[in-house]
Amino acid sequence: MENLFSSKHELISREDKEKLLNQKGVCLWLTGLSGSGKTTIAKTISKKLHKKGIITQVLDGDNIRIGINNNLSFSEEDRLENIRRTSEIGKLFVESGIVTICCLVSPTKKMREKAKSIIGASDFYEIYIATNLHECKKRDTKGLYEKASRGEIKNFTGISAPYEKPNSPNLVVPTENISIEESSEILYNFAIPLIIKN
């Protein structure tokens, strides 16, 4: 069968897509413990950006695991594969000029570096959603931390698996001390200059 995409120059370029959308595709990679507020912040900022006419796509770790990554466990190897697949999907959105917000615990530096290498350093922004373990446990409506403490969930970050705090993230959002709206505003103000094309 003939390869319809053999000539890359025949495809619509990223530059043309970004020009049409009047925005730059970037990846905001939200990392932090389960319950830190990653998904809630992502949904809130997505709505704020939408009101400004900016197209976004949220890739949430829980939803990704229900679908394309439903065959993966929480072993170190499968977690890395979870990051790889999500990053490859994210890269496609970014290259289409879409602001892509990825919400994954991504507990190790190795995992986050993997994501950065796939998406591309110039498009990747590491956002640390900084919330202590005690606060995350208080917010845990699903009872995941309790189950992990009883040994019902293996390799659960913060209980039976470590979380390596980012050494030099592009942005730190301290959600334990401020509201979701304030947290989202911090991320919004950080993101807007990256997204709006002059």
Per mean pLDDT, which range of 37-41, 46-50, 132-136, 141-145 is the poorest? 141-145
Q: What's the pLDDT tens digit per position in 41-91?
A: 999 999 999 999 999 999 998 889 899 999 998 888 999 999 999 999 999
Q: What φ, ψ does residue 176 adopt, rounded to 5°?
A: -75, -20
Task: Give the pLDDT confidence score for residue 159 in this predicted structure.
Answer: 86
Total-model pTM: 0.90
Residue type at 120? G
Domains located in the chain, CATH noted: 23-194 (3.40.50.300)
Note whether 58 and 42 are within 8 A (CB).
yes
Catalytic site positions: 106
Element (H, E) at 41: helix 38-51
Task: Give the pLDDT confidence score for residue 37 in this predicted structure.
Answer: 94
